[in-house]
Homo-oligomer: A and B are copies of this chain.
Amino acid sequence: RALSGDVAFLLHRVFMRSISVLGSDKQVAKWIPLATQHKLIGSYAQTELGHGTYLQGLETTAVFDIAAQEFILNTPKISAMKWWPGDMGRSATHTVVFAQLYIHGKCYGIHPFIVQIRSLQDHSLCPGITAGDIGPKMNFEHIDNGYLMLKNVHIPRENMLSKFCEVRPDGTYVRQGSQQINYFTMTTVRISLISDEVLTPLMKSCTIAIRYSAVRRQSKLKPGEQEAKILDYQTQQEKLLPQLAAAYAFHFINDYLQELFDRGYREIQRKNFDMLPELHALSSGFKAVITHHCTAAVEICLRACGGHGYSLLSGLPSLYTKILASCIYEGENTILLLQTARFLIKCFMAANAGQPVPPSVTYLATGKPGKCPAKSKMDFLSPDIYTEAYQHVAVRLISSTASKLQDLIQSGVKKYDAWNQCTVQLVQAAKAHCHYITVKNFAETVEKLETKAGIQRIMKHLCDLFALHGIFSNTGAFLHDGYISAAQMDMVTASYLDLLAVIRKDAVPLVDAFDFTDKCLNSALGSYDGQVYQRLYEWAQKSPTNKMSPAYEKYLKPLLHNTLSKL
């Protein structure tokens, strides 16, 4: 399982990141070495049974006791019980608990506290702690997601993470900078999970499904000939190649986000919080868009392999059930998109009032009606043409939703009701923004690859495919105000379908090299995924009636042997 990335103690890193980002120098000096040397096992206890996305509603309390110089932590109701934290069911000894801070009966909002939950001697639960595993899930059997109840748990004053907010011994509360900074760990987690938890499963799935489609033959394309490789069917290309293109699109946007984040993080270390809103908006929106898109893509890959994809031996089912969780954890996607939308509406208003806005949204000031200038299907292979079309749609959706919002408010609807009545369209607007940035960034990245001609040519095809697939799958957004005409949309379709055959010929022939004696077994054999061998092995061990078929015996056993001997 470790071969395929199913490792435990992932939350240990989040524990450490919280302390690095939110801890004072003294706290970092004390806890990070202990964690690095694994003298403790960390977790991150934010979500409660009754509260996921609405952090302000968390019910766990941390009351400051001046006399004892301690915080007293409680989960006063069942709905306040921490629920889901990874590695907490059985493993963690310490965790960062998010709780409402009270001093002299006054609530100061959510703050992070380091709490020891298990003994470092015998791993028994500490006094006042109730914890365990929350039960079976759709995947992540290797992670003990847990629950945690706290009953009058005392921790020293020094355990509140205090780089930005501090409680002085006399109970004075001091804040440096934004209260929002306490949510910053989530921002960093959202960005890091894109490459680790989302792109890797998609890349694996594309590899498995495309290699399978290059060796699996089914039905005849031309009468009298051998059955055709399924990758030669237009419908199969149309399923898989756009997912391959998306894997690259999101790989490059991940680089973009990482760079933006590094810049923002350096500023925050200098106590400059100006980039926080943009970072929060982009990390939220892209987390939602990428996890959603990649989850759908992995499902497409699975289904494109037919029954062999549904067999656990293909590796695809567990890639799917794993990536699906990414749509839910670290911020539910709809809520995240609405946070991005709130930022976009604010920036749109500002930009149109001539005020400065962050670089990623300056385009919002440039909106104008216009028409797409393309005259032939070849014109739609020009990044300028399609990037502008995406920009136009993003501006249109953001501005029309902003207008609807204002109209409702002016007609007397309460602000919060008006917002709720626009949320379906706000989500569309936020997606359009992220889609535009992704296409633009992909095109710019390909442009910069000019010294590597062979790679650049293939990447240009994939960039075009990603862009045209987005238009083809969402024609209404581009047709609505006539920016793209019906005749032009037919050109988009023609160009898009042509590209599939081009990429099949130009970029995919490498995979044709894989042609095992028994072409039918490749869903298992064709995949790199260590999990495949592992699952088969586990299953075969389970019961003497679970015998491998002769075919698997013949082809898989040597491979399994070979793989294990290399470990």
Chain B residue contacts of A317, Cβ below 8 A:
137-138, 321
On whether the beta carbons of B311 and A325 are closer than 8 Å, the reply is no
On whether the beta carbons of B480 and A475 are closer than 8 Å, the reply is yes
Tell me, yes or no, whether A520 is within 8 Å of chain B by CB. yes
Q: Mark A203-229, 1 if CB is under 8 A from B, else 0.
A: 000000000000001111111000100
A501 CB to closest chain B CB (Å) equals 8
Tell me, yes or no, whether A60 is within 8 Å of chain B by CB. no
On whether the beta carbons of B222 and A550 are closer than 8 Å, the reply is no
On whether the beta carbons of A550 and B149 are closer than 8 Å, the reply is yes
Stretch at the interface among A12-20, A369-377, A420-428: A420-428
- Give the copy number: 2
On whether the beta carbons of B313 and A136 are closer than 8 Å, the reply is yes
Stretch at the interface among A45-53, A95-103, A185-193, A356-364: A45-53
Interface residue count on the A side (C-beta < 8 Å)? 99
**With A79-B520, A218-B57, A423-B235 in contact, is A136–B311 under 8 Å at CB?**
yes
Q: Mark A326-352, 1 if CB is under 8 A from B, else 0.
A: 011100111100100000000000000
Chain B residue contacts of A474, Cβ below 8 A:
476
Task: Give the contacts of A383-424 with B (CB-CB under 8 A).
Answer: 414, 416-417, 420-424
On whether the beta carbons of B219 and A414 are closer than 8 Å, the reply is no
Residue in B closest to A497 when the chains form the complex, CB atoms: B424
Chain B residue contacts of A184, Cβ below 8 A:
none
Residue in B closest to A474 when the chains form the complex, CB atoms: B476
On whether the beta carbons of B479 and A54 are closer than 8 Å, the reply is no
Tell me, yes or no, whether A259 is within 8 Å of chain B by CB. no
CB-contact partner of A416 in B147, B221, B313, B493, under 8 A: B221
A98 CB to closest chain B CB (Å) equals 16
A133 CB to closest chain B CB (Å) equals 6
Tell me, yes or no, whether A489 is within 8 Å of chain B by CB. yes
* Of listed A236, A427, A480, residue having the most chain B CB within 10 A: A480
Chain B residue contacts of A235, Cβ below 8 A:
334, 338, 423-424, 427
On whether the beta carbons of B421 and A234 are closer than 8 Å, the reply is yes
On whether the beta carbons of B551 and A78 are closer than 8 Å, the reply is yes
* Of listed A135, A416, A423, residue having the most chain B CB within 10 A: A135
CB-contact partner of A233 in B219, B303, B321, B423, under 8 A: B423
Tell me, yes or no, whether A552 is within 8 Å of chain B by CB. yes
**With A52-B218, A317-B321 in contact, is A549–B420 under 8 Å at CB?**
no
On whether the beta carbons of A310 and B332 are closer than 8 Å, the reply is no
On whether the beta carbons of A135 and B536 are closer than 8 Å, the reply is yes
Q: Mark A270-293, 1 if CB is under 8 A from B, else 0.
A: 000000000000000000000000
Stretch at the interface among A106-114, A432-440, A540-548: A540-548
Tell me, yes or no, whether A518 is within 8 Å of chain B by CB. yes
Q: A53-B306, A137-B312, A235-B424 are in contact. List 7 more A-B contacts (CB 8 A).
A: A50-B217, A53-B219, A133-B547, A134-B549, A234-B420, A234-B421, A425-B493
Binding site for B on A (CB under 8 A): 47, 49-54, 57, 78-79, 81, 83-84, 90, 130, 132-138, 147, 149, 217-223, 227, 232-236, 238-239, 299, 302-303, 306-307, 309-313, 317, 321, 324-325, 327-329, 332-335, 338, 414, 416-417, 420-425, 427, 474-482, 486, 489, 493, 497, 518-521, 535-536, 539, 545-552
19 contacts between A and B (CB under 8 A): A49-B520, A50-B217, A78-B518, A133-B545, A135-B312, A135-B313, A136-B312, A136-B313, A138-B311, A222-B414, A222-B417, A299-B324, A302-B324, A303-B328, A424-B497, A425-B493, A475-B479, A476-B476, A476-B489
